[in-house]
Amino acid sequence: MKKGKKLYEGKAKIIYASSDKNLVIQYFKDDATAFNNQKKSTIEGKGVLNNRISEHILSNLSQIGIKNHLVKRLNMREQLIKFVEIIPIEFVVRNVATGSLTKRLGIEDGTVLKEPLIEYCLKDDELGDPLIAEEHIYAFEWASKKEIEKVKKMILRINDFMIGMFRGVGIKLIDFKLEFGRVKLNGKSEVILADEISPDTCRLWDSITEKKLDKDRFRKDLGDLIPAYTEVAKRLGILHEQSNVTAVNVTKLSSVKKKSK
């Protein structure tokens, strides 16, 4: 698949055109940001790990019938994905209260929610991705009622599946963020899961120690992020025991190759 011109650059990923107009290439960067870009860093190997972890989760979701944008992983940093029109909403799913929810509402950190809570944020960096009500989505026609009903059903299935998948490897799925997009299938618009699912977009706590295995390590300066993401990848069976620093080594190798060209 030939890589075309850069179409869009976000905080953690770049989208390139491909030789097929319905498909694009998603490149995972090593850049990490938090608090709407106020805190920034480059963490070598993060993109490689997120590419692998997201591929694993999205292909598993595909197997249980959750349609998503992933076509295939191309290499250590890139995936071939379907070109979608992103719905400008970040769907935050919470099983345990922490993060912005506890700050906003004074709920005790770690409170287990009786049912998964879905929150909506407008995807707008300049406004700091503000929390919105479902009614705002319809008032400003960011998505239709039919689309949101479908998205909500998909979210609950995704959450059930991911809770089980992570529980099986000793990890609690605390919360996560999803994005959805529209594709044309046989002339009809359909909503599918898009973006990525990785420790950048989830909160993952070790089931026993509650050690944070996600981007909170960076947000809250909890120490190295790469060993935590590597641990998640290993537990999911993506990386093997001996490959402790595989992602970083591969990154180094690929940058050496590029430089010597």
Map the footprint of ligand TMP across residues 235-254, applying CB under 6 A.
none
Least gap, CB of 90 to ligand ASP (angstroms): 9
202 binds, among ligand TMP, ligand ASP, none (CB under 5 to 8 A by kind): ligand TMP
In the bound state with ligand ASP, the residue whose beta carbon lies nearer, of 13 and 56, is 13
Q: Work out which of 15, 17, 66, 99 binds ligand TMP, going by CB under 6 A.
A: 99
Segment interacting with ligand TMP, rule: CB under 6 A, options 92-100, 156-164, 181-189, 229-237: 92-100
Residue by residue, what is the 3-state secondary structure of 14-26? EEEEECCCCEEEE
Among the listed residues 31, 60, 71, 100, the single contact to ligand TMP using CB under 6 A: 100
Cβ-contact 46, 52 below 8 angstroms = no
Q: What are phi and psi of 255, to 5 degrees?
A: -75, -30
From ligand TMP, ligand ASP, none, interface partner of 95 (C-beta below 5 to 8 A by class): none
The set of long-range contacts for 67-74, using a CB threshold of 8 Å and a minimum separation of 24, is: 67/190, 67/192, 67/193, 68/192, 68/193, 68/194, 69/181, 69/183, 69/192, 69/193, 69/194, 69/195, 71/23, 74/1, 74/25
Q: What is residue 59's three-state secondary structure?
A: helix
* Closest CB 58 distance from ligand ASP, rounded Å: 19
Contacts to ligand TMP by CB under 6 A: 92, 99-101, 129, 175-177, 201-203
